[in-house]
Amino acid sequence: MIDINIIRETPDLVKENIKKKFQDDKLPLVDEVAELDVKVRAAQTEADELRAKRNKISKEIGALMAQGKKEEAEAVKAEVAKNAARLEELEAEERSLGDRIREIMMTIPNIIDPAVPIGKDDSENVEVEKFGEPVVPEYEVPYHTDIMASVNGIDLDAAGKVAGSGFYYLMGDVARLHSAILSYARDFMIDKGFTYCIPPYMIRSNVVTGVMSFQEMDEMMYKIEGEDLYLIGTSEHSMIGKFIDTTTKEENLPITMTSYSPCFRKEKGSHGIEERGVYRIHQFEKQEMIVVCKPEESKDWFERLWKNTVELFRSMDIPVRTLECCSGDLADLKVRSLDVEAWSPRQKKYFEVGSCSNLGDAQARRLRIKVDGADKKKYFAHTLNNTVVAPPRMLIAFLENNLQADGTVRIPESLRPYMGGKTVLEKM
């Protein structure tokens, strides 16, 4: 949610930003907010005048009563009653107008960073840089679930009977590898100075609407029937929610945290052959990183966060590239987003394994996350998040890039301490 002062002072900037995001249907909302804002401020001004007048008249009534001028006092009381009725009307009007303004403001997209390329959808995202040499081996690379099955590491059929499509049983060395990657990612981020955290896996609706758009909520979140609780789609939701209605002293920033959690997503819609197996699923586990910082530091933190993910994947011998998300592919709360994609030797292309986002003060404004500045003035913090690693999707890249000609899977040196010293996964 942007600052309403931006609409007051530079409405054309807001409209141009909406056009860049190809959401022209929202253009009339800018003028509507401006008109409602004039009305609510007029109501506030009149209400403030009536409150001041009420206080002044109350003193006059006391003086008149003390002087025994009861009739005059009663006349003044009648004026107070009349003003009270009008004040009640104005306060109701303020609430109604304020609610409508907030409803609209929640749908107006954040102002995007100048570095964001203009494009309608993800097909117009722009490659930034490649890390590591993508290799296509001379031998065939099987589908990822076939590799898992060759080491007796997955059972999709049983999961389908128990929970339906989009679920899985990971077993044996594949399950151990899954946990090893998460443990390695946890320690990797702790070594970077991030505080480790395990958050709640459910959040209330006021937190949900604070961290994401209504459209994202409908497409992603599972609601707990009969409760004001939603299962998290990523631990970023719960982690940013941790700071709701808080004010942090400026000298205590930045706050850097890395969190583990299971994640639950509806994943609406049908998907192609490359999204079956464990690519797009209803539950998975994830190591996340979040930052709460001063506004002037968020651009620097954005660069540092995505570089952490690249470094982690390269330490496991997985080639990756970064992709700048275009304006039409950005969620409304985001200022900028960079995807990290891993190389798939089987598909001979890259696919998304993580996403780094700078949300400016949008989440902080919605959740009232403030900073107590050195000059004692309060302002909204900036928030950022980035995927460290999210198996089992990440396992696809791992298995394909570490598969050897004899069908065994090499364990990179960085993971061996978490795999009991194993150097390969053997075929069964």
What are the sequence ranges of the domains in the chain? 4-105, 122-425
- What does the pLDDT read at residue 270? 44
More confident residue, 74 or 234: 234
Average pLDDT, the chain: 92
Asked if 106 and 214 touch (Cβ cutoff 8 Å), the reply is yes
State pLDDT tens for residues 379-400: 999 999 999 999 988 999 999 9
Among 5-19, 56-70, 294-308, 316-330, the range scoring the smallest mean pLDDT is 56-70
State pLDDT tens for residues 186-195: 999 999 999 9
* Arithmetic mean of pLDDT, 294-312: 98
- What does the pLDDT read at residue 273? 47
State pLDDT tens for residues 264-277: 998 755 455 455 78
Residue percentage of the chain with pLDDT more than 70: 94
Residue percentage of the chain with pLDDT more than 90: 81
- What does the pLDDT read at residue 84? 82
Among 18-22, 88-92, 136-140, 252-256, the range scoring the smallest mean pLDDT is 88-92
CATH, domain 122-425, list 3.30.1360.20, 3.90.226.10, 1.10.1240.10, 3.30.930.10: 3.30.930.10
Is CATH 1.10.287.40 correct for 4-105?
Answer: yes
